[in-house]
């Protein structure tokens, strides 16, 4: 007998091992390398404890009051400290948490906000064309008006972009509702989903929204 | 968006600690920083064994593994730093445009400059300027790279040592005080010519304040001769404006008005306007020795040595402006018949004819041309004379004789560009005179080396200034950016020397302008002062000029031969007089005629080369007036015999990282005369390699460029159609459906382009514009020699010849050209009298693109609007696409050209991070610290980052790239239109509404030869052009269905001329296809 008896189990052991190792590698790659896990959920601490929940949610400030480049440029823009001081020279004007903001407005030294949302350098994304053509902020950034600290809500992977680029009708909304993050086609969820399809398609047809899936749409 | 010193990771929460903590332990750091570099530096030091190499490589892989786990999957923390005070009317990410102008020697080019976040990235012509089509020349396009040149002068220096700005300015103040006291005794200025009214005003102040000072103007390339000749001929300060668009017959006497003269972009625009195919198109006769762009565009070209062109000119003048003498003899019967018929043609088109003489020709020739033009009635019609300020000019030879104490050099690089001017003498006398040389300049160059004080100059994009264009309009020069290295503007420098209380350049320009604030703002906005300059009416030749014309002229005493050669010094098409020597774009631009990069050469004709026994690449020594210079030989088709063409501007010793040591310095034998005889040439026995982008000169009988004479075009307007001369194979329709045909139905636009070969003169402006717009790197001479140049747009230049002169016209016999080595072309007799054709060639965006079907990873695909797009991130670099491209327009990044240090451009080997050190630090370690900068030093890296266009990806090694039809401009236009449309359907770009973007090449083209637009819009100009009978596709029989098509060229030769024939390319094609039929 050339092979001892335990070798009968060898193929099974090898197969099992391969499955375990392969599964481990797959899980590792998924968790460590895919945008769904590497990006979504990212929530850095900002130098100023600014609350979107208070400003955008409770006070109802429009997104565009601070992010004033969003309709003009690819970059939404972060407000200068002088914008903050428009209100905060009256409200909470001695609050120690706002010391950095006051200093910045006075000296011009920028506040080092930590970037949360970022697309890779080879992606040329434009806020302008999305928000002015009925893509709501909420689709990519989530309910920022309910976030105390901003966190990365969606994966921003290429397939995330393509979901909408393949089927804009399921995501589009009237242009004037773009910054109303909680807006729905209807208060009834099933009704809203139905309306999204029918009304969305109407919008797509009326606005001649293209289903841009070729490389040149985002990569140059 | 940099890490600011105020923030660090300590105050932030960390989500991805994993191996970070390990990375922070001292042990880990120690291992990382010490062991690895130590082992590797050993390898560098003693050459190392293979085993050692493997050990190091495995260590680096291990390191890479750690890096991936520890850092790779964790995003780096980046900061967004907004303004403290938000400026008004500024949106981050949106380009801003400002009007300015680039001053040239005798004028200025009005510009509009695009700026992102305060840094200028692209230069365009000012389309608002009266008469302009928004084009520029290649120098203007390339000048933006000079702004970001790491070798710019950055410091104030005294005796080679850095001094503070205050110290340097104090010196100027003292200087001014000293000479104010003695009325400027012993003070001399040496400046380059300029048209700036503000400078002229300061010059006047200096003349008043320092009456005994002297002002000299020196330009290595003297373009002021046109003005001086006109002033002398007509007895009042005037300068000529040539209207090539109004002329029906143009005779160019050694005048390369489409190439190396000043103001070329205007000339090309006007010339192209007069050359619209059809009745009434103009006819160009060129008499020249060098083969120039003008000669390439000419209908009749006579090859005559430059020193003997005067004979032809006199011969013609005898018929046109009758003089009592009998015509002086010209060299041959052919020449006299040529000149006679040319003169007849000029006279048959009185008032619509014009004669232009090149700037390198002597003043007498210019006077003669004015006499001919007067006799033809051209003055006031095709040649207008506009009033101008007289240009001050003093003979440089006086500089030696006057007792100069202080010499102030304003710009220019006279120590390099003039070997004769008394610099050397001045240096010798210096000890005696205790003189000081104060130099104001853009580079620390050859002149700076010889100066005592050096003041860094600002770029024109950093300066306030003004200028007057060649047609007399005043233009302001406004800065786009603060001086990067804190230099002085020219006006501020002069004002400080003059001791003016107001030394602010803006205030000086504003004061010169005068007028209301509203008018001033308007002129800044428009980029010019709204003022038309009316030509001087009723102007006549002066008696003195006529008398001088009648005087006998001494023309080349001895006839030319191989022992009495003629030397022609000319302005280089790329580096100008040497001022663009450190500009990588210019060095790498193939010369429009020779297609040579990174070099100049001794241009000779085939016959001269044969008699002298030299061939391409042989080093020769040229001796002229006892001085000599060495350079390589290049046989130039169409060159006059016994002429040597030497481009100025090369062989710089202190140009910088790019330009030092490129080519040879022809100034060594230059004495201020551009044409000299009496040179001898000796072969040294050495050889030299020249990197030429188009070694093969012939089209081999393929009708890539299609041409016809005007009469044939009138008979058969559609001569260029696919079945060119009935001999092109018919196009077979494909069996398979093209997915694009389906996509077309819903797409908003279909992009396409036409290139008008009739308008294109081959100047190369588009190549540089494309390079600037699309972040195209330079690769260096050695890489060009390997065919790795990265230009997305190239200009193919073919020479065609009378098939009878070709020994064997068949491409199927062994001895035919095609099977001949490229080196042997230079000995072929057919190259003596050639016609040249230029063809811009870039990605054709074929509807059925052969490149797409062979890409294994779908990295190159079609989009719905007909663009053949490249997804760089998908590309794995198989290069199949390039192999399968019939037009050879795809470019592959063989190396990481963007990360190569400039000093490596001239190296023979590409060094890797493993063996290379930057600033004394091992590159692999630098890479570990900052993976971006590659092997470039910090200053180079910072500047190159500023110079890039943020709209276009900077490609890395291993990626294929090519013309994208400027997809970034298309996308930008589409985004703007869609944003404007909002909740409506008005999303289509329409040419009628002016929303269709221009490509960079199209915008820059002075001839408006390139038209881009929507071919699905029947009203667009590109659709209309494609409907013309002249429209044809190159290699259309391959069923590539290219979106870029060409408009065939129409020549307009004179049937009475002795050299009248069908275009050589057509004759060649006919004869070769006959042979082909016979053979098959």
3-state secondary structure B74-85: CCCCCEECCCCC
A28 CB near a chain B CB, below 8 Å? no
**Binning pLDDT at 50, 70 and 90, where does residue B603 land?**
very high
* Closest CB to B983 among A43, A68, A207: A207
Find the mean pLDDT for residues B792-800: 92
3-class secondary-structure state, position B203: helix
Which of B522-536, B797-811, B952-966: highest mean pLDDT? Answer: B952-966
Least confident of B115-124, B173-182, B935-944: B935-944
User: In this structure, are residues B570 and B645 in contact, taking their beta carbons and an 8 Å threshold?
Assistant: yes
Least confident of B324-333, B377-386, B453-462, B1008-1017: B324-333
Least confident of B366-380, B504-518, B697-711, B726-740: B726-740
Pairwise pLDDT comparison (B247 vs B547), residue with the higher score: B247
Residues in chain B, overall count = 1080
Rounded-to-integer distance, Cα B838 and Cα B766, Å: 13
Q: Does B1 fall in a domain? A: no
Is the same domain home to B652 and B758? Answer: no
Residue-wise pLDDT for B890-929, tens only, equals 999 998 888 888 887 776 566 677 777 777 778 788 777 7
The alpha carbon of residue B871 is apart from the nearest alpha carbon of chain A, in Å, by 6
Pairwise pLDDT comparison (B755 vs B74), residue with the higher score: B755
Is the same domain home to B339 and B237? Answer: yes
Nearest CA in chain B to A133: B982
Which of A54-68, B722-736, B1053-1067: highest mean pLDDT? Answer: A54-68
Is the same domain home to B380 and B424? Answer: no
User: In this structure, are residues B827 and A180 in contact, taking their beta carbons and an 8 Å threshold?
Assistant: no
The alpha carbon of residue B84 is apart from the nearest alpha carbon of chain A, in Å, by 4
Residue-wise pLDDT for B820-864, tens only, equals 677 777 887 778 888 999 999 999 999 999 999 999 999 999 999
Find the mean pLDDT for residues B570-586: 93
Find the mean pLDDT for residues B706-724: 85
- Residue contact A113–B82, C-beta within 8 A: yes
pLDDT at B10: 34
Rounded-to-integer distance, Cα B515 and Cα B522, Å: 11
3-class secondary-structure state, position B486: coil
* Closest CB to B869 among A71, A203, A216: A216
Residue B558 has pLDDT above 70, yes or no: no
Pairwise pLDDT comparison (B187 vs B829), residue with the higher score: B187
Rounded-to-integer distance, Cα B505 and Cα B489, Å: 7
CB pairs under 8 A between A and B: 176
Rounded-to-integer distance, Cα B282 and Cα B272, Å: 9
End-to-end CA distance of chain A: 67
Percent of chain A with pLDDT strictly greater than 70: 100
Find the mean pLDDT for residues B813-821: 50
pLDDT at B32: 41
- Residue contact B84–A81, C-beta within 8 A: yes
* Closest CB to B91 among A43, A73, A206: A73
pLDDT at B30: 44
**Binning pLDDT at 50, 70 and 90, where does residue B301 land?**
very high
* A77 contacts in chain B (CB < 8 Å): 82, 91-92
3-class secondary-structure state, position B498: coil
The alpha carbon of residue B980 is apart from the nearest alpha carbon of chain A, in Å, by 8
Tokens 């003016």 map to which residue? B500
Q: What residue ranges in B835-894 does DSSP mark as E strands? A: 835-841, 860-862, 868-870, 891-892
Nearest CA in chain B to A123: B953
Is the same domain home to B312 and B256? Answer: yes
Q: B727: burial class by Cβ within 10 Å (0-12, 13-18, 19+)?
A: middle
pLDDT at B419: 64
Domain ranges of chain A: 118-217
User: In this structure, are residues B268 and B761 in contact, taking their beta carbons and an 8 Å threshold?
Assistant: yes
pLDDT at A94: 87
Phi, psi (degrees; rounded to nearest 5) at B750: -135, 115
Quote the domain boundaries for residue B982: 707-890+962-1051
Residue B1042 has pLDDT above 80, yes or no: yes
* B77 contacts in chain A (CB < 8 Å): 44, 114-115
Pairwise pLDDT comparison (B9 vs B168), residue with the higher score: B168
* A42 contacts in chain B (CB < 8 Å): 15, 75
Is the same domain home to B245 and B295? Answer: yes
A107 CB near a chain B CB, below 8 Å? yes
- Residue contact B981–A133, C-beta within 8 A: yes
Q: How many CB atoms lie within 10 A of CB B734?
A: 10
Residue B9 has pLDDT above 50, yes or no: no
Q: Does B939 fall in a domain? A: no
Find the mean pLDDT for residues A18-39: 87
- Residue contact B94–A122, C-beta within 8 A: no
pLDDT at B695: 78
Q: What is the ipTM of this complex?
A: 0.90
- For the record, the structure tokens of B185 come out as 């005794």
A37 CB near a chain B CB, below 8 Å? no
A150 CB near a chain B CB, below 8 Å? no
Is the same domain home to B369 and B339? Answer: yes
- Provide the greatest CA pair distance for chain B: 100
- Residue contact B93–A74, C-beta within 8 A: yes
Mutation to test the A interface, candidates B20, B86, B742, most A Cβ within 10 Å: B86
Rounded-to-integer distance, Cα B99 and Cα B930, Å: 38
* Cβ-based neighbours of B627, under 8 Å, separated by 6 or more: B419, B668, B669
Is the same domain home to B312 and B347? Answer: yes
CATH number reported for the structural domain that contains residue B741 in this entry: 3.30.70.20
Least confident of B354-363, B650-659, B736-745, B824-833: B824-833
Helices (H), A56-115: 63-66, 81-88, 99-107
Residue B117's nearest CA partner among A138, A11, A75 is A75
What is the dihedral sign for C-alpha B394, B395, B401, B403? positive
- Give residues 157 to 196 of A whose Cβ lies within 8 Å of B: 174-176
Is the same domain home to B574 and B644? Answer: yes
Phi, psi (degrees; rounded to nearest 5) at B1013: 175, -165
Q: Does B46 fall in a domain? A: yes
Is the same domain home to B317 and B444? Answer: no
pLDDT at B880: 94
pLDDT at B844: 94
Q: How many CB atoms lie within 10 A of CB B303?
A: 21
Rounded-to-integer distance, Cα B896 and Cα B956, Å: 5
* B865 contacts in chain A (CB < 8 Å): 216
Find the mean pLDDT for residues B428-447: 75
Find the mean pLDDT for residues B118-139: 92
- Residue contact A108–B83, C-beta within 8 A: yes
Q: Does B818 fall in a domain? A: yes
Domain end point (choices B72, B107, B122): B72
Residue B227 has pLDDT above 60, yes or no: yes
pLDDT at B155: 92
- Residue contact A122–B82, C-beta within 8 A: no
3-class secondary-structure state, position B933: coil
Q: Does B697 fall in a domain? A: no
Percent of chain B with pLDDT strictly greater than 70: 85
* Cβ-based neighbours of B574, under 8 Å, separated by 6 or more: B138, B580, B586, B587, B589, B591, B649
User: In this structure, are residues A113 and A101 in contact, taking their beta carbons and an 8 Å threshold?
Assistant: no
Residue B1078 has pLDDT above 60, yes or no: no
Q: Does B1015 fall in a domain? A: yes
Percent of chain B with pLDDT strictly greater than 90: 48
Least confident of A45-49, B294-298, B318-322, B1041-1045: B318-322
pLDDT at B1001: 95
Nearest CA in chain B to A68: B91
**Binning pLDDT at 50, 70 and 90, where does residue B806 land?**
low
Mutation to test the A interface, candidates B71, B91, B861, most A Cβ within 10 Å: B91
* B968 contacts in chain A (CB < 8 Å): 124, 220
pLDDT at B1004: 94
* Cβ-based neighbours of B1000, under 8 Å, separated by 6 or more: B122, B766, B769, B770, B772, B773, B774, B966, B969
pLDDT at B423: 55
Q: Taking the mean position of all CA atoms in its chain, how far away is CA A136?
A: 11
* Closest CB to A112 among B7, B91, B983: B7
- Residue contact B91–A77, C-beta within 8 A: yes
Residue B813 has pLDDT above 80, yes or no: no
DSSP state of B1036: G
Is the same domain home to B376 and B404? Answer: no
Tokens 């420098």 map to which residue? B493
Nearest CA in chain B to A46: B12
- Residue contact A109–B6, C-beta within 8 A: yes
* Closest CB to A220 among B86, B865, B971: B971
Domain count, chain B: 5
Nearest CA in chain B to A205: B985
- For the record, the structure tokens of B336 come out as 């006299």
Find the mean pLDDT for residues B516-539: 85
Q: Let me know the angle formed at the C-alpha of B819 by B818 and B824, rounded to the nearest 5 degrees.
A: 90
* Closest CB to A115 among B6, B80, B873: B80
Residue-wise pLDDT for A51-99, tens only, equals 999 999 999 999 999 999 999 999 999 999 999 999 998 888 888 889 9
* B7 contacts in chain A (CB < 8 Å): 47, 112
DSSP state of A146: G
* Cβ-based neighbours of B452, under 8 Å, separated by 6 or more: B158, B159, B436, B437, B438
Q: What is the edge-to-edge ordering of all strands in the sheet holding B1031-1032?
A: B1010-1014, B751-756, B1044-1047, B1031-1032
User: In this structure, are residues B913 and B930 in contact, taking their beta carbons and an 8 Å threshold?
Assistant: no
- Residue contact A111–B82, C-beta within 8 A: yes
A72 CB near a chain B CB, below 8 Å? yes
Rounded-to-integer distance, Cα B449 and Cα B444, Å: 7
Domain end point (choices B325, B359, B387): B387
Per the prediction, chain B carries an average pLDDT of 83
DSSP state of B768: H
Rounded-to-integer distance, Cα B1067 and Cα B805, Å: 12
Is the same domain home to B367 and B475? Answer: no
CATH number reported for the structural domain that contains residue B494 in this entry: 3.40.50.740
The alpha carbon of residue B874 is apart from the nearest alpha carbon of chain A, in Å, by 10
- Residue contact A118–B870, C-beta within 8 A: no
A47 CB near a chain B CB, below 8 Å? yes
- Residue contact A110–B83, C-beta within 8 A: yes
pLDDT at B28: 42
Residues in chain A, overall count = 220
* Closest CB to B861 among A45, A111, A214: A214
pLDDT at B136: 94
Rounded-to-integer distance, Cα B607 and Cα B830, Å: 11
Which of B45-54, B346-355, B399-408: highest mean pLDDT? Answer: B346-355
The alpha carbon of residue B67 is apart from the nearest alpha carbon of chain A, in Å, by 13
Tokens 């004179």 map to which residue? B1054
A132 CB near a chain B CB, below 8 Å? yes
Is the same domain home to B573 and B674? Answer: yes
- Residue contact B7–A217, C-beta within 8 A: no
Pairwise pLDDT comparison (B609 vs B186), residue with the higher score: B609
- Residue contact A38–B78, C-beta within 8 A: no
- For the record, the structure tokens of B33 come out as 């920083």
Find the mean pLDDT for residues B1053-1058: 90
* B10 contacts in chain A (CB < 8 Å): none
Rounded-to-integer distance, Cα B539 and Cα B373, Å: 12
* B95 contacts in chain A (CB < 8 Å): none
The alpha carbon of residue B13 is apart from the nearest alpha carbon of chain A, in Å, by 6
Find the mean pLDDT for residues B548-554: 60
């Amino acid at each position: 007998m050339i092979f001892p008896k335990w070798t009968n189990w060898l193929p099974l052991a090898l197969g099992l091992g391969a499955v375990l190792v392969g599964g481990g590698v797959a899980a590792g790659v998924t968790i460590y390398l895919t945008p769904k896990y590497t990006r979504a959920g990212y929530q850095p601490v900002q130098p100023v404890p600014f609350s979107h929940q208070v400003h955008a949610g409770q006070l109802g400030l429009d997104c565009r009051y601070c992010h004033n480049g969003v309709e003009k440029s690819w970059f939404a823009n972060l407000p200068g400290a002088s914008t903050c001081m428009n209100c905060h020279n009256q409200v909470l004007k001695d609050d120690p948490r706002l010391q950095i903001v006051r200093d910045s407005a006075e000296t011009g030294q920028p506040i080092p906000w930590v970037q949360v949302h970022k697309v890779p350098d080879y992606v040329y994304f434009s806020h302008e064309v999305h928000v002015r053509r009925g893509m709501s902020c909420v689709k990519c950034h989530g309910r920022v008006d309910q976030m105390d600290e901003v966190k990365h809500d969606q994966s921003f992977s290429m397939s995330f972009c393509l979901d909408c680029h393949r089927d804009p009708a399921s995501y589009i909304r009237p242009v004037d509702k773009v910054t109303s993050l909680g807006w729905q086609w209807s208060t009834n969820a099933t009704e809203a989903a139905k309306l999204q399809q029918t009304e969305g398609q109407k919008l797509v047809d009326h606005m001649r929204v293209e289903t841009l899936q070729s490389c040149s749409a985002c990569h140059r | 968006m940099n890490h600011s010193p105020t923030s660090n990771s300590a105050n932030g929460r960390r989500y991805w600690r994993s191996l970070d903590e390990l990375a922070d332990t001292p042990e880990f750091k120690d291992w990382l920083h010490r062991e690895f570099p130590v082992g590797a530096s050993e390898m560098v030091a003693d050459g190392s064994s293979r085993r050692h190499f493997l050990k190091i490589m495995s260590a680096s892989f291990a390191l890479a593994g750690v890096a991936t786990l520890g850092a790779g999957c964790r995003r780096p923390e980046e900061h967004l730093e907004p303004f403290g005070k938000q400026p008004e009317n500024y949106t981050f990410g949106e380009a801003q445009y400002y009007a300015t102008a680039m001053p040239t020697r005798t004028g200025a080019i009005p510009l509009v400059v695009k700026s992102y976040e305060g840094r200028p990235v692209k230069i365009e012509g000012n389309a608002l300027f009266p008469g302009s089509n928004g084009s520029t020349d290649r120098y203007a396009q390339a000048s933006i790279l000079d702004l970001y040149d790491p070798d710019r002068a950055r410091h104030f220096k005294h005796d080679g040592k850095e001094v503070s700005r205050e110290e340097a300015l104090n010196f100027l103040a003292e200087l001014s005080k000293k000479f104010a006291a003695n009325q400027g005794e012993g003070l001399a200025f040496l400046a380059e010519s300029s048209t700036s009214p503000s400078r002229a005003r300061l010059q006047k102040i200096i003349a008043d304040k320092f009456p005994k000072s002297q002002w000299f103007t020196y330009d290595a390339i003297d373009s002021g001769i046109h003005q001086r000749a006109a002033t002398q001929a007509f007895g009042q300060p005037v300068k000529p404006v040539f209207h090539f668009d109004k002329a029906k017959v143009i005779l160019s006497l050694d005048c390369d008005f489409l190439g190396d003269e000043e103001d070329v972009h205007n000339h090309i625009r006007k010339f192209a306007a007069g050359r619209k195919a059809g009745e009434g198109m103009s006819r160009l006769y060129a008499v020249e020795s060098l083969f120039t762009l003008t000669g390439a565009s000419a209908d009749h070209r006579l090859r005559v040595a430059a020193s003997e062109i005067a004979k032809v000119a006199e011969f013609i003048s005898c018929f046109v402006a009758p003089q009592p003498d009998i015509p002086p003899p010209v060299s041959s019967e052919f020449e006299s018949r040529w000149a006679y018929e040319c003169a007849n043609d000029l006279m048959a088109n009185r008032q619509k004819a014009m004669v232009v003489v090149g700037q390198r020709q002597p003043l007498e020739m210019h006077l003669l041309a004015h006499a001919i033009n007067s006799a033809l009635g051209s003055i006031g019609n095709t040649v207008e004379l506009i009033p101008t300020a007289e240009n001050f000019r003093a003979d440089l030879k006086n500089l030696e004789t006057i007792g100069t104490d202080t010499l102030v050099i304003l710009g220019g690089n006279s120590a390099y560009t003039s070997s004769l001017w008394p610099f050397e003498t001045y240096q010798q006398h210096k000890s005696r005179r205790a003189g000081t040389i104060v130099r104001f300049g853009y580079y620390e160059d050859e002149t700076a080396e010889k100066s005592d004080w050096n003041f860094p100059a600002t770029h024109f994009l950093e300066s306030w200034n003004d200028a007057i264009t060649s047609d007399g309009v005043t233009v302001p020069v406004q800065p786009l950016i603060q001086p990067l290295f804190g230099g002085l503007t020219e006006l501020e420098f002069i004002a400080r020397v003059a001791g003016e209380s107001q030394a602010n350049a803006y205030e000086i320009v504003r004061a010169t302008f005068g007028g209301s604030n509203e008018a001033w703002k308007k002129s800044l906005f428009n980029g010019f002062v709204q003022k038309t300059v009316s030509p001087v009416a009723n102007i006549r030749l002066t008696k003195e000029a006529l008398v001088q014309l009648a005087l006998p002229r001494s023309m080349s005493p001895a006839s030319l031969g191989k022992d009495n050669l003629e030397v022609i010094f000319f302005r280089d098409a790329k580096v100008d007089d040497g001022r663009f020597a450190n500009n990588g774009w210019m060095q790498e631009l193939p010369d429009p005629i020779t297609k040579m990069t990174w070099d100049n050469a001794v241009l000779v004709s085939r016959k001269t080369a044969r008699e002298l026994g030299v061939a391409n690449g042989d080093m020769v020594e040229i001796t002229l007036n006892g001085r000599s210079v060495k350079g390589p030989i290049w046989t130039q088709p169409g060159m006059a015999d016994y002429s040597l063409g030497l481009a100025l501007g090369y062989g710089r010793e202190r140009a910088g990282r790019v330009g030092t040591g490129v080519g040879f310095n022809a100034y060594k034998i230059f004495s201020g005369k551009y044409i000299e005889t009496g040179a001898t040439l000796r072969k040294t026995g050495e050889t030299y390699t020249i990197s030429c982008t188009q070694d093969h000169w012939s089209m081999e009988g393929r009708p890539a460029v299609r041409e016809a004479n005007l009469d044939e075009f009138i008979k058969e307007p559609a001569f260029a159609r696919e079945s060119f001369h009935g001999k092109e194979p018919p196009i077979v329709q494909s069996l398979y459906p093209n997915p694009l045909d389906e996509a077309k139905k819903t797409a908003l636009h279909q992009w396409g382009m036409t290139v008008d070969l009739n308008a294109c003169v081959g100047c190369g402006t588009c190549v540089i514009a494309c390079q600037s717009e699309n972040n195209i790197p330079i690769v260096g001479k050695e890489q060009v020699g390997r065919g790795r140049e990265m230009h997305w747009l190239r200009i193919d230049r073919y020479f065609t010849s009378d098939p009878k002169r070709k020994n064997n016209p068949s491409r199927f016999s062994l001895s035919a050209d095609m099977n001949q080595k490229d080196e042997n072309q230079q000995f072929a007799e057919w190259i003596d009298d050639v016609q040249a054709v230029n063809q811009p060639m870039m990605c054709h965006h074929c509807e059925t693109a052969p490149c797409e079907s062979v890409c294994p990873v779908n990295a190159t695909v079609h989009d719905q609007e007909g663009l053949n797009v490249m997804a760089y991130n998908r590309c794995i670099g198989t290069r199949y696409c390039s192999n399968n491209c019939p037009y050879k327009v795809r470019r592959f990044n063989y190396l990481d050209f963007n990360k190569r240090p400039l000093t490596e451009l001239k190296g023979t080997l590409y060094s890797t991070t493993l063996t290379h050190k930057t600033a004394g630090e091992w590159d692999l370690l630098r890479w570990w610290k900052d993976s971006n900068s590659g092997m470039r030093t910090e200053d180079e890296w910072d500047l190159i980052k500023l110079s890039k266009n943020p709209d276009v990806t900077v490609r890395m090694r291993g990626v294929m790239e090519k013309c994208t039809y400027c997809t970034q401009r298309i996308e930008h236009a589409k985004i703007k239109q869609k944003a404007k449309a909002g909740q409506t359907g008005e999303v289509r770009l329409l040419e009628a509404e002016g929303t269709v973007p221009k490509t960079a090449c199209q915008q820059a083209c002075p001839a408006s030869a390139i038209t881009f637009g929507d071919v699905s819009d029947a009203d667009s100009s590109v659709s209309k052009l494609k409907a013309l009978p002249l429209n044809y596709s190159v290699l259309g029989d391959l069923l590539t269905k290219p979106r870029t098509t060409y408009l065939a060229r129409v020549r307009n030769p004179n049937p009475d001329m002795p050299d009248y024939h069908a275009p050589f390319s057509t004759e060649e094609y006919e004869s070769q296809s006959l042979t082909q039929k016979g053979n098959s």
